[in-house]
Structure 1
Amino acid sequence: MLFSTKQYDMIPASQALPGRPTPIPTADTHFLSGRPLKAPVPEGMEAVILGMGCFWGVERLFWPLDGVWLSMVGYGSGHTPNPTYQEVCSGRTGHNELVRLIHDPRVISYEALLKIFWENHDPTQGMRQGNDRGTQYRSGLYTTTPAQQAAALASREAYQSRLSAAGFGPITTEILPAPEFYFAEGYHQQYLAKNPNGYCGIAGTGVSCPAGLSA
C-alpha cells in the first residue's frame, strides 16, 4: 500500500495477468453494521462505485454518512478476472482500487456524494494519490445509471472551473459505466475500523466543489 513504484501506464489486455474463474474469498458481513456484504441493493436505493486512491481511507470517508447503507472495497476497471491484492499491486491487472456504496438517495443524494468525492482527493494527479503511485490509485467514477453518468460528467466540468481558477491542472478522473466489481480480500474490508491507526493516504486540494452539480 505504501510508497511503491508501480507503472504509470495502463497495461494492455493482451499483457494482463490471467486471473481465475472464481471469486477470491472475502468477508461475509460488514465489520460495523453486520449487514451481508453481498446483499442485493434494497428497493429505492442505488449502488455507487468510485476510486480516489487507497481504498482503506476512501471507505472510511463514506461509511459514517447518514444514508450510506453499506460499503465495501474491491477492484475493477481492469482486465484480470477475480484478481488478488498482490496481483493488482503488480500493475499487471489494469484494475483500480474501488469502493462500492449502497446509498438511499432520499437521505443522501448522488450529488452530495459527488461533492465529497471531489473535495477529498486530488483528481488532477493521474496515476497516483500523494505518495501512493500506480494505476490502481487513479481517480474514477463508475456509474450505475444514466442519471449518475450525466451528474458525474456535469460535476467534473463544474469542479474543473474551480480547480483551474485555483491553479490546478486538468482533471484526470475517468468516468465510465460501472465495471464488474471484484471484492477485495476480507482483511481489506472496513480496514480502518479494524485498525484505527492504520494508513490513510487520501487528501483533498482545499478547493470547494459547487453545489447543484447536476443542474
Structure 2
Amino acid sequence: MALFDKLDLARMLGPLPDRAAPVAHGARHFVNGQPLDPPFPVGTEDVFFGMGCFWGAERKFWQAGDGVHVTAVGYAGGTTRNATYEDVCTGRTGHAEVVRVVYFPAALSFDSLLKLFWESHDPTQGMRQGNDVGTQYRSAIYTTTPAQRAAAEASRAAYQRVLTDAGYGAITTQIAPAPPFFYAEAYHQQYLAKNPGGYCGLGGTGVACPAGPLGA
C-alpha cells in the first residue's frame, strides 16, 4: 500500500483505542545489564530520538561511549497508550519508533548525541527512512530539558545549511518536548545485539554535521 493511501486510511479509521496495560519489555539491557526502567542515576538526563527503524538507531547510541547509561526502544509522539508494535504499524496510533537514551552529560555532551543523530539517517524524508515507509519512521527529537530543545533547534538550523549546500531538501525532523514514552516489546530491545545479522535500514546522507556548541 502506498504511503499516502495508508495515511488516508488511517485518518479515515481514526486512532486506535488505548490498551489497558503496557507490553512486557524486559528488565535489563542485553548489552550492558543496566535496568531499562527508571529511576535512573543522579546526574543523568534522557532524550528520545526517532530516526527510522529503531533497531539500528538503538545500536548507534549504545555504542556511543561510556557516557551512555542505558538505551531502550519504544513508541512516542502518538495518541494510543500502551500501543503494541502491530498497533503502531497500522499508522493509527500516531507514534514514532524512538530510542530512549539515558546519558551522563558530564561524560558525553548532548551536542555529540545530536551529531550522531543527524549523521546516522536522512532527516529530509518525511514519513519514511529509506525503504521503511510509514508515520512510525519519521525523524524526531523529543527533549526533556529547555537546554536540550534549544541545542536541538540550533543544530537543526546548522545542519540544514550544509544539507542545502549538498543539494538536499528541507529537514522534516520534529523537535518537541518529550511526550509519553511506551516501551516496545522485549524482542525489540537491543535487537541487533541479540540478532547480529538482523535487518538495519539505517543510512545517513554522508553530509557531516557541523561540530561545536549548539552545532555552530
The verdict on how the C-alpha distance between 1:11 and 1:152 changes in structure 2, with shifts beyond 3 A counting, is farther
Q: Read off the aligned partner of 2:136 and give its amino acid letter.
A: Q
Structure 1 residue aligned with 2:25: 26
| Greater share of helix | 2
When residues 72 and 93 of structure 1 are mapped into structure 2, their CA distance, relative to the original with a 3 A threshold, is: same
Offset at 1:150? Answer: 0.2
Following superposition, the deviation at residue 56 of structure 1 comes to: 0.2
Shift of 1:26: 1.1
Amino acid of the structure 2 residue aligned with 1:48: V
Cα deviation for residue 10 of structure 1 reads 10
Which residue of structure 1 lines up, in the alignment, with residue 145 of structure 2? 145
What's the secondary structure of 1:105's corresponding residue? coil
Residue 22 (structure 1) shift: 1.9
Cα separation, 1, equivalents of 2:101 and 2:12: 27
Question: Which secondary structure state, in structure 2, belongs to the residue aligned with residue 47 of structure 1?
Answer: strand
Contact 2:10 2:90 in 1 (8 A): no
Q: Hey, what does 1:88 align to over in structure 2?
A: 88
How far apart, in 1, do the equivalents of 2:86 and 2:13 lie? 19
Listed one character per residue, the Cα deviations across residues 45-64 of structure 1 (whole Å, up to 9, x for unaligned) are 10011100000000011102
- Asked if structure 2 preserves the Cα contact closer than 8 Å seen for 1:17 and 1:92, the reply is yes
Alignment of 1:107-146 (within 5 A): 107-146=107-146
Give the CA deviation at 1:127: 0.2
Over 3 Å counting, the alpha-carbon distance change for 1:63 and 1:52 in structure 2 is same
Deviation larger for 72-81 or 6-15: 6-15
Question: How far apart, CA to CA, are the structure 2 residues paired with 1:63 and 1:18?
Answer: 33
Match of 2:48 in 1: 49
Q: Is the CA contact 1:142–1:176 (under 8 Å) kept in the aligned structure 2?
A: yes
1:162 is matched with which residue? 162
Superposition pairs for residues 190-209 of structure 1, below 5 Å? 190-209=190-209
Residue identity matched to 2:120: N
Question: What CA distance in whole angstroms lies between the structure 2 residues aligned with 1:115 and 1:9?
Answer: 34
Aligned residues: 212
Specify the code of the residue in structure 2 equivalent to 1:26: H
User: Residues 27 and 10 of structure 1: is their aligned pair in 2 closer, same or farther, counting only changes over 3 Å?
Assistant: farther
Q: 1:98 to 1:123 in 2, by over 3 A?
A: same
What CA deviation, in whole Å up to 9, does each residue of 1:4-55 have, x standing for no partner? Answer: 7553569569910002132111111111111111031211110011100000
CA contact (8 A) 1:41 1:47 kept: no
TM-score by length of 2: 0.93
Contact 1:141 1:176 survives alignment (8 Å): yes
Structure 2 gaps of 5+ residues are none
Give 1:202's aligned amino acid: L
- In structure 2, C-alpha distance between the alignment counterparts of 1:13 and 1:22, rounded to whole Å: 26
Matching residue's letter, 2:161? S
In the TM superposition, residue 68 of structure 1 has moved relative to its aligned partner by 0.6
3-state SS of the aligned residue for 1:153?
Answer: helix
Q: Is residue 48–residue 102 contact of structure 1 (8 Å, CA) maintained in 2?
A: yes
Deviation sequence 1:83-128 (CA, Å, 0-9, x none) = 0000001111000000001101111100000000001100000000
Query: 4+ residue stretches of structure 1 with deviation over 2 A?
Result: 4-14
Closer, same or farther: CA 10–201 of 1 in aligned 2, 3 Å: farther
RMSD of aligned Cα (Å): 1.8
Distance 1:109 1:211 in 2: 11
Percent identity over paired residues: 59
Q: Tell me how far 1:135 sits from its aligned partner.
A: 0.3
